[in-house]
């Protein structure tokens, strides 16, 4: 139940995976950049943050760790207002129930967010709030996230 | 008729027949290898793309000599199944003696073309447009076969769920 491109064909000879092409999609990175460029206030990004928090909570509740959460690895399917998100690039993903792994997954996204998109602290905060509200196992995860933040660069 | 993107010299043609009276005879002919095509139960097909994905994989494996079944056509039927049991796949996705609708899949390449009239003449039934496929599809049976969940349907289409299972069944 996590939106991702459909796998069409796995070629074991060339080790290629053929996936669905999400036509006319935009990365969340580009979307945020354009919203900020238009002079729009980051508050217009809050609904997106909520959707993302909800999606990641569902993913982590299934014990799936993405492994490379950045705004370039999340697509927005048109029409943009629908906030139809698609996760891509599962090259570093793995299965784990450990709050530590989920916390790190979120930490990677937080770092990516703040380094790529200035003044988005409230956006990520909203994401985390919705994550905590949606996920059934969020308590320990958020705790681990705080610990990882304190440890600084890993 | 569709050309396979990854194998441009191959084309896949789908013929749909309704009110078929000789399904038993057709099935026998297919098992004997007398029909140059895959005979599929249209109730299990939601979209021609499902067939193309199965055909693509079959052609690929045929080319590298790694098919799991004996012929290209049984391989196509096998690829439609979400599991790795060959006889189960042929039973569920191939036609049965009591079927009244048949979907015939033909694969041609530059060297081998298939005479469509030849194949069609063997069917005692009415050839209809592929547009009628949705009317013959049994959604409930398909959902059960592929174990599609309501959770999944919120995210993607039935076809998405089906294709995922078809293409990754040998990975898991």
Per-position pLDDT tens, chain B of length 172: 888 888 888 889 999 999 999 999 999 988 888 888 999 999 999 999 999 999 999 999 999 999 999 999 999 999 999 999 999 999 999 999 999 999 999 998 877 777 888 888 899 999 999 999 999 999 999 999 999 999 888 888 999 999 999 998 987 6
Hey, CA dihedral for B38, B39, B42, B44, is it positive or negative? negative
pLDDT at A76 over 80: yes
Instruction: Report phi then psi at B3, rounded to 5.
Output: -95, 140
3-state SS, residue B126: strand
Q: What are A93's two structure tokens? A: 């993903």
pTM reported for the whole predicted model: 0.85
- In a mutational test of the A interface, the residue from B146, B160, B165 whose CB has the highest number of chain A CBs within 10 Å is B160
Q: What are A149's two structure tokens? A: 């933040």
Determine, for residues A9 and B56 on separate chains, whether the beta-carbon distance falls below 8 Å.
yes
Measure the CA–CA gap between B107 and A123, rounded to whole angstroms: 53
Q: pLDDT per residue over A87-131, tens digit each?
A: 999 989 999 999 999 999 999 999 998 999 888 889 999 999 999
pLDDT at A22 over 90: no
| Min Cα–Cα distance to chain A from B156, Å | 7
Domains of chain A: 23-152 (1.10.510.10)
Sheet strands (E) in B19-61: 38-40
Q: What is the ipTM of this complex?
A: 0.77
Measure the CA–CA gap between B113 and B121, rounded to whole angstroms: 16
| Min Cα–Cα distance to chain A from B98, Å | 32
Domains of chain B: 2-169 (3.30.2380.10)
Q: Please, are residues A107 and A149 in contact by the beta-carbon 8 Å criterion?
A: yes
Peptide bond connecting A79 to the previous residue in cis, omega within 30 degrees of 0: yes
Mark whether A68 is an active-site residue.
yes
Instruction: Report phi then psi at A64, rounded to 5.
Output: -105, 125
């Amino acid at each position: 139940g996590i939106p991702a491109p459909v796998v069409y064909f796995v070629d074991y000879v060339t080790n290629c995976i053929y996936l669905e092409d999400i036509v006319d999609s935009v990365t969340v990175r580009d979307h945020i950049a354009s919203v900020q460029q238009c002079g729009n206030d980051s508050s217009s990004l809050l609904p997106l943050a909520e959707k993302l928090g909800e999606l990641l909570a569902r993913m982590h509740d299934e014990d799936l760790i993405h492994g490379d959460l950045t705004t370039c690895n999340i697509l927005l399917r048109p029409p943009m207002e629908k906030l139809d998100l698609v996760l891509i690039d599962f090259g570093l993903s793995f299965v784990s129930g450990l709050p530590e792994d989920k916390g790190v997954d979120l930490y990677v996204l937080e770092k990516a967010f703040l380094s790529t998109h200035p003044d988005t602290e409230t956006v990520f905060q909203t994401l985390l709030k919705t994550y905590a509200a949606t996920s059934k196992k969020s308590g320990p995860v958020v705790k681990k996230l705080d610990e990882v933040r304190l440890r600084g660069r890993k | 008729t569709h050309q396979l993107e990854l194998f441009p010299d191959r084309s896949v043609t789908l013929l749909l027949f309704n009110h078929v009276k000789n399904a038993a005879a057709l099935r026998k002919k297919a098992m004997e290898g007398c029909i140059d095509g895959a005979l599929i139960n249209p109730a299990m097909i939601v979209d021609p793309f499902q067939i193309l994905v199965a055909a693509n994989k079959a052609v690929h494996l045929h080319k590298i000599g790694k098919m799991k079944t004996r012929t290209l056509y049984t391989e196509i039927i096998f690829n439609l199944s979400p599991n790795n049991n060959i006889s189960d796949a042929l039973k569920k996705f191939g036609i049965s003696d009591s079927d009244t609708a048949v979907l015939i899949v033909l694969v041609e390449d530059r060297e081998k073309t298939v005479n469509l009239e030849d194949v069609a003449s063997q069917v005692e039934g009415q050839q209809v447009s592929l547009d009628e496929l949705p009317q013959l599809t049994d959604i409930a049976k398909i959902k059960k076969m592929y174990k599609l969940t309501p959770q999944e349907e919120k995210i993607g289409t039935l076809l998405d769920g089906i294709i995922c299972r078809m293409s990754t069944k040998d990975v898991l």
